[in-house]
Amino acid sequence: MDLFEYPEWDQIAARVGKKADEVFKKIGPDRIPCEDKEFDVVFAFEVLEHAPDPEHFLCEMRRVARKYILLSVPDCNPAHPLHKYSLALHHWTDRTHAQFFTRSSLVGLLDKAGLEVLHVGGSYRIQLGNAFWDSLRIPGRIRRFGQNLTNRLQLSPVFYSGILVKCAV
């Protein structure tokens, strides 16, 4: 289910011998078309920032979940370390985003929606060392060796562009 419909749905569904509407469903932000407590776990990755009323959407997820909700949203904290390097990630400029979250604003919203936050971490790992090695015009084998060495020795900073949260219902 998604708030938007994508042209790729036809191709993806065809790979498993089905029609797009048998595999995917476009939904509105007002009601998730599922029964109460229908799923043990509800996943919402990169969805909540598109919802016009995120608190209501979280309440809908809580309604259809029995145990847990896992969600990821872009980290739009203006003090994010990537700003130091003048790196603007797509989610900071995406016009389809109706909401922008920081860790604290997201946790506050989850609490307001009656969810128990069990874990808050990062999603979508970014290693600037990899970008450096990718920018060099050297053979792929040497580039991969440099990336692996830089990563193993932890020579470059690691950032996360998203916030990953596990909640209990």
CATH number of residue 101's parent domain: 3.40.50.150
25 with 52, same domain? no
Q: For residue 88, what pLDDT is reported?
A: 63
Rg of the chain in Å (alpha carbons)? 19
Alpha-carbon distance of 98 to 95, in angstroms, equals 8
Whether residue 106 contacts residue 73, with contact meaning beta carbons closer than 8 Å, is answered with yes
Domain extent at residue 16: 1-30
Residue 20 forms part of a structural domain: yes
| Residues paired with 126 in a beta bridge | 159
Q: How many domains does the chain have?
A: 2
Do 122 and 66 fall into the same domain? yes
85 and 64 in a single domain? The answer is yes
Per-residue pLDDT at 125: 87
C-alpha span between 143 and 36 (Å, rounded) = 51
Q: How far apart are the first and last CA of the chain?
A: 20
On whether residue 73 sits in a domain, the answer given is yes
Query: How much is the pLDDT for 96?
Result: 86
Q: Strands 158-168, 65-74: parallel, antiparallel or unpaired by DSSP?
A: antiparallel
Tokens for 78?
A: 């203006």
Q: Residue 145 domain-assigned?
A: no
Q: What are phi and psi of 47, to 5 degrees?
A: -120, -45
Mean pLDDT of each 10-residue bin along the chain, 169 residues long: 87 94 85 94 93 93 97 89 72 84 96 96 89 92 95 89 96
154-164: b or e for each residue (b if 16 or more CB lie within 10 Å)?
Answer: eebeebbbbbb
- Whether 86 and 114 map to the same domain: the answer is yes
Assess whether 23 and 44 both reside in one domain.
Answer: no
pTM of the model: 0.81
Report residue 102 as tokens. Answer: 């920081």
Has residue 146 been placed in a domain? no
**Torsion angle, alpha carbons of 166, 26, 124, 63, to 10:** -10
Judge whether 164 lies within some domain: yes
Whose CA is closest to 33, among 25, 44, 42, 41? 25
Same domain, 49 and 115: yes
DSSP state of 102: -
What pLDDT is stored for residue 128 in this prediction? 84
